[in-house]
Amino acid sequence: MILELDNVELNFYNRSILNGIYLKAETGKITGILGSNGCGKTSLLEIIFGNITPKHKLIRIDNRPVFKPLYLSKSVKYLPQYFFLPSLKLRAIFKLFKVDWNNFILIFNTFKAYTNLNINKLSGGERRLIEVYLILKSKSDIVLLDEPFSHLAPLYIEKIKTILAEEKATKAIIITDHLYPHIIEMSEDIYLLKNGCSKKIESLIELEDYQYLSRGSMR
Amino acid sequence: MQQFLSILTFYRSFVLWSFVVNIILTIVNPQIFSAVITKLLLTVFVWYLVHETGAKRKLTFYKNLGISPLKLFSVLFFVDILITIIFLILIKEYI
């Protein structure tokens, strides 16, 4: 499956946020989006998911234009930056997402004691881990991850990266995070957002040329 | 079924308020038609509040399950009105 986003024009109060975007993501690949604060990374993911309606956009899946919000197709899962799960017991949340709780505690065995706990009783990092895991593991064709590594301990980040590598076999994954070494390491394709436009990065040194990273960072 | 259960989790936070409105309706005007109209207006008001405030973020959970805001609030209304009608019939029967 190939997802393409094209001709995006997004303005907030006469301020142009996005104006020249082309992005392609496909099954079997992780597509990374990099860019400085406020460049429109989150807006881009929200446009794909269907949370934001821009002035113009064209979303194509396997060359067919999609006119309805993508979330209505149930083929896309979106991890926003904010906590989005309601106050429910962990087991109940896993049931709603049709994700196996036992498989989760096999990987993250410290959560075994939390089976009947309400998600609000967990720490911010633990909640984030649950959210990332659910979004990655629930049934979908497209996964949109907005800063999945924030709040996570290094050991959890490594485990999530392993799950990402497994899940990409059947999903098109689009990911953005300020922890850019992880994005660079995991992504097959990288796009840089700058001045409202997307630029496909062919060589990592371009990240310095476009002043996303300081000189010498990629050497 | 999973979708319906998740919509009920959204309804959970409004149950108490809905019950308070039912009590007021019973005192003021215990007619089913006026109850339907009142609950419809209140559902539209809640939709507006959620849509125009930070509570909009709560909808991301439901959208991830493939539930649109229209579907969410429609089911919310029908569940609530069903409970309200049963409540009013029982009250009329016993009072």
Q: Is B70 on the interface with A (CB under 8 A)?
A: no
Would you place residue A210 in the very low, low, confident or very high pLDDT band (cuts 50, 70, 90)?
confident
Minimal Cα–Cα distance from B13 to chain A, Å? 10
Of the candidates A71, A84, A135, which has its C-beta nearest B66's C-beta? A71
- CA distances to A50, B40, B80 from B27, in Å: 44, 19, 18
Of the candidates A50, A80, A96, which has its C-beta nearest B65's C-beta? A96
CB-based contact B63 A78, cutoff 8 Å:
yes
pLDDT of B2 > 80? The answer is no
Cβ-Cβ pairs closer than 8 A, A with B, add up to 44
CB-based contact B65 A69, cutoff 8 Å:
no
Cα separation of B5 and A100, whole Å? 18
What local confidence, expressed as pLDDT, does residue A23 receive? Answer: 96
Q: Name which of A183-192, A206-215, B68-77, B81-90 the model is least confident about.
A: A206-215
| More confident of the two residues B94 and A117 | A117
The reported pTM is: 0.93
Average pLDDT over residues B37-48: 94
Chain B CB contacts of A77 below 8 Å:
64
Q: Which phi and psi (to 5°) does residue A154 adopt? A: -55, -40
Cα separation of A125 and A38, whole Å? 24
pLDDT of A87 > 80? The answer is yes
ipTM for the whole complex: 0.92
What local confidence, expressed as pLDDT, does residue A153 receive? Answer: 94
Nearest partner of B66 among B8, B12, B11, B3, judged by Cα: B3
Minimal Cα–Cα distance from A53 to chain B, Å? 14
What local confidence, expressed as pLDDT, does residue A4 receive? Answer: 97
| DSSP secondary structure letter of residue B53 | S
Minimal Cα–Cα distance from B83 to chain A, Å? 23
